[in-house]
Amino acid sequence: MRRKEWSLWRGVLMAADGMASALAEGGAAERIDAGRLFRVPDLSYYASRRNELYPLSLTDAADARPHTMVTAPTGAGKTDFLLRRCRGRVFYTLPFQASINAMYDRIRHDLEGTGADVRLLHASSMLRDEGGAWEERILQRHPGAAVKVMTPHQMASVAFGVKGYEAMLADLRGCDVILDEIHTYGDEIQSIVLKIAEVLLSVGCRVHVGTATMPRALYDRMLALLGGPERVCEVRLPAEVLDTFDRHRVYKLADWEAAGPVVREAVERGEKVLAVCNRVARAQELYSRLAEEYGAEVPVMLIHSRFKRGDRAGLEKRLVGELNRLPAGEGCIVVATQVVEVSLDISFDVMVTECAPLDALVQRFGRINRRRTPETQGNFRPVYVVAPPDGVRDAAPYDKAVLERSFDLLPDGDLFRERDVQQRLDALYEAIPARAEELGFLAAYRDGRWCIGGLIHHAKSVLWEKLNVDSVACIVEGDVGRYRTASAAERLAMEIPVSFRTVRYNGLNRLPECGSEPYVVPDRAYSPETGFLSEFARPEFEDVTNRFL
């Protein structure tokens, strides 16, 4: 009878196979330096940075307890403190692609000259139709990096037994894992966070949690899971220090029409405006309106997750560079979705945002008045929150009741006090939902033991199904020829990640056995300015000369 366990040797073989493939496809510039693999990074740089404006930089990190839980606002120095707590190779997780790209660039720059192998790992959940059986594949970079920056959804594969999880576990064993800004606390995400921690502990990892927005119920459960105060170094800032992080006044708006005068006045003052929508379609619509009205006066830009990956990288670079660094008196307008919520180092002057769960709003607010200097302390900037919609479907991707409760918990016309954030979050999320517990029992690891047979995996995990992680790649007709002959990196730049449900029943062609087997959408279904346009992703909009595809 096959034992219930994970197979280390299968993981090693899978990792070796992936590394061999990378060597075969990469060329000289991508060849792996074996001498740098599995090397513990020199993180002494982070211990050398001390500044009274960043209170965590003055906090002693030399605590013998293996695990860490840090609660502090944006800009308090959480990243440096968490890295100072690490003793071995580091896996650093953040929720969104833009934030992990930014963190990767930052850490790579910080550790330049130390010889550390810093790697970036993006998730790609590919659904493949193989004889009617839907299979998911986690695409991973090679093992052994000194620091690997990734998303928690990728790491969650080890708890839910997704294909490739043994290779991930083999790489993770005994390492330091930073779970930073895990800030969305719906049922499924709570289950993921807890299951990740449980599995990491089983393979000897040291777990370091950093958050600005963790409800007490989840905090207490995580603390107990990590072994309680005897095993966890807990850090919180006192109320008088939190008061120095007050940066925003919150104003409630009935609808987007009420935001019109706000944007007009900000543009006339030469301020940088960040407008955030919860869905891509609404962001595209808002961008079109604002670009038409203000495009002749100031730069107007749109960024979301449904651009070609190459175009999106350019947009992120422009946002963090050119627009973020505009001199005083030169304004701009950026329309975005959730991609700007976490750890993106931008500091704008005014925000108008759709209502989101309170924890997400706190993260969004962190993109406004972010710079922490003696001059900015006590200088409060406005954030305007648009009331939740009336319909349940219009509230998607969030729960309408959570939006309404979050909106009620916000002040109106008053200062948003950092010392009150914990109390507001606890009022919103009073307990870990029973649904989270239920999903936890569907994992491949529970109650301290593996519940999956050795040498097997789940072809379709509960994790992806419950999260509706059904992203597939599309390319436009005009890129088909180049895609067929391009390198893996060049193909990635052409791909547009979209929801599988958006294209599955549209009668579109795919490129079999080529790259990620993308769907081919009409050229009209994509714009470099607005991204993927789902209404044109149908065969009737194809160029008839390309019908042979």
Class of domain 1-26+70-245+421-469: alpha beta
Distance CA 402, CA 134 (A): 33
418-442 mean pLDDT: 75
Bridging pattern class, strands 232-236 and 133-138? unpaired
Q: Which residues in 235-247 are b (16+ Cβ under 10 Å) and which e?
A: bebeeebbebbbb
Assess whether the region 1-26+70-245+421-469 and the region 247-416 belong to the same CATH fold: yes
Distance CA 319, CA 321 (A): 6
DSSP one-letter code for 413: S
Q: What is the 3-state secondary structure (H, E, C) of 210-221?
A: EECCCCHHHHHH
Q: What is the pLDDT of residues 17-36, one digit of tens each?
A: 877 776 665 544 455 677 78
**What whole-number percentage of the chain has pLDDT above 70?**
86
- Phi, psi angles (nearest 5°) of residue 433: -60, 150
Q: Report residue 134's pLDDT band, with 50, 70 and 90 as the boundaries.
A: very low
* pLDDT value for 138: 33
Instruction: Could you please state the CATH topology (level 3) that the domain comprising 247-416 is classified under.
Output: Rossmann fold (3.40.50)
Q: Tell which wins on pLDDT, 513 or 95.
A: 513
Sheet holding 248-253, edge to edge: 300-303, 332-336, 272-276, 350-354, 381-386, 248-253, 414-415
Angstrom CA distances, 141 to 41, 66, 174, 181, 335, stand at: 18, 27, 19, 23, 32
Provide DSSP, 162-183.
BTTHHHHHHHHTT-EEEEE---
407-436 mean pLDDT: 86
Structure tokens at 490: 């060049």
Angstrom CA distances, 1 to 4, 442, 450, 453, 490, stand at: 9, 22, 15, 10, 46
Distance CA 167, CA 342 (A): 28
Place of tokens 């950026």: 334
Q: What is the pLDDT of residues 36-45, one digit of tens each?
A: 889 999 999 9
* pLDDT value for 131: 35
Select from 167, 163, 165, 157 the least CA-distant residue to 128: 163
Distance CA 285, CA 249 (A): 27
As a whole number, the mean pLDDT across the chain is 86
What are the sequence ranges of the domains in the chain? 1-26+70-245+421-469, 247-416, 472-546
Position 212 pLDDT exceeds 60: yes
Q: Which residues in 103-134 are b (16+ Cβ under 10 Å) and which e?
A: bbbebbebbeeeebbbbbbbbbbbbeeeeeee
Position 136 pLDDT exceeds 70: no
Q: Report residue 451's pLDDT band, with 50, 70 and 90 as the boundaries.
A: confident
Position 302 pLDDT exceeds 90: yes
Distance CA 341, CA 161 (A): 29
Candidate from 164-168, 328-332, 534-538 with smallest mean pLDDT? 164-168
Q: What is the pLDDT of residues 339-386, one digit of tens each?
A: 888 767 899 999 999 999 999 999 999 999 988 888 777 889 999 999
Distance CA 410, CA 254 (A): 14
- Helices then strands, counting H and E runs in the chain, come out as 22, 23
Position 102 pLDDT exceeds 90: no
Q: Tell which wins on pLDDT, 82 or 375.
A: 82
114-120 mean pLDDT: 90
Other beta carbons less than 10 A from residue 261's beta carbon? 9
Position 137 pLDDT exceeds 80: no
Residue 177 in contact with residue 155, Cβ under 8 Å? yes
How many Cα atoms sit within 13 Å of 434 on the Cβ side? 0
Between helix 421-428 and helix 358-365 the angle, nearest 10°, is 150
